Amino acid sequence: MKPFLSALAVVCATTPAFADEFAPALESFLETEINGWSQSDAIVAAIVAQNALTSGYDQSRIDELDATWRAEVGMADTPLIADVLNNATSEYLRERVEAAGGQITEVFVMDAQGLNVAASSVTSDYWQGDEAKFQKTYGMGAGASHIGDVEFDESTQTYQGQISVTITDPATGQPIGAMTVGVDAEALM
């Protein structure tokens, strides 16, 4: 495995078109593995509930929460992180990771502000709203998806590609949040 990861690191560092080589595999994974459960009742209900709480947050409140999250990473006392990781939807996401047999490295769900709602494991930050994974999904509307570059991910310690999708309210068809799924690059080979 080490030779593969070393070769992957060299290719990632030297080939700008590297992500293009993996894009078809990531798009196929989206269609065959993710779309079937991304709009689950559990995910939609969790986002709707959090949107009711966070819809009035201004940027200073979002920044404050993000700073709190970052300060909690790696600490013993983590109330904000615990709220996200210890809910039924996060357990559902962990079940999806387990069912994928190593292909999925992480999953996290964001509300309409780009704040974490649920996660299979700790993310490096709480606010995703300033990143392409949120802006190119929720920001683009219903049906949008975004395939990220294959990169080394610190939180999962793997080379992964991220697949992000807009989550919509099935009753209205309106975007309510987004979800990002990290896919192990080796699993695509």
For the segment 6-26, what is each residue's pLDDT rounded down to a tens digit? 334 434 443 444 446 788 889
Q: Residue 8's CB: how many other CB atoms inside 10 A?
A: 18
Read off the DSSP letter of residue 32: I
CATH number of the structural domain spanning residue 175 = 3.30.450.20
For the segment 90-118, what is each residue's pLDDT rounded down to a tens digit? 999 999 999 999 999 999 999 999 999 99
- Between CA 168 and CA 38, with CA 36 as vertex, the angle to 5 degrees is 40
- Give the separation between CA 180 and CA 121, rounded to whole angstroms: 12
Q: What residues does 136 pair with on adjacent strands?
A: none
Tokens 């690059």, residue located: 185
- Give the separation between CA 69 and CA 61, rounded to whole angstroms: 12
Query: Is residue 138 pLDDT above 90, yes or no?
Result: yes
CA-nearest of 168, 120, 118, 119 to 143 is: 168
Give the mean pLDDT of 146-164: 87
| Chain center to CA of 58 | 22
140: CB partners within 8 A, 6+ apart: 166
Read off the DSSP letter of residue 148: P
Give the mean pLDDT of 147-160: 84
For the segment 21-76, what is each residue's pLDDT rounded down to a tens digit? 788 889 999 999 999 999 999 999 999 999 999 999 999 999 999 999 999 999 99
CA-nearest of 110, 164, 124, 85 to 94 is: 85
Give the residue numbers spanning the domain of 180: 2-188
Read off the DSSP letter of residue 58: -
Q: Radius of gyration (Cα) for the chain, nearest Å?
A: 16
Based on the structure, what is the number of domains in the chain? Answer: 1
Answer for the pair 32, 163: CB distance below 8 angstroms, yes or no: no
3 state SS of 147: strand
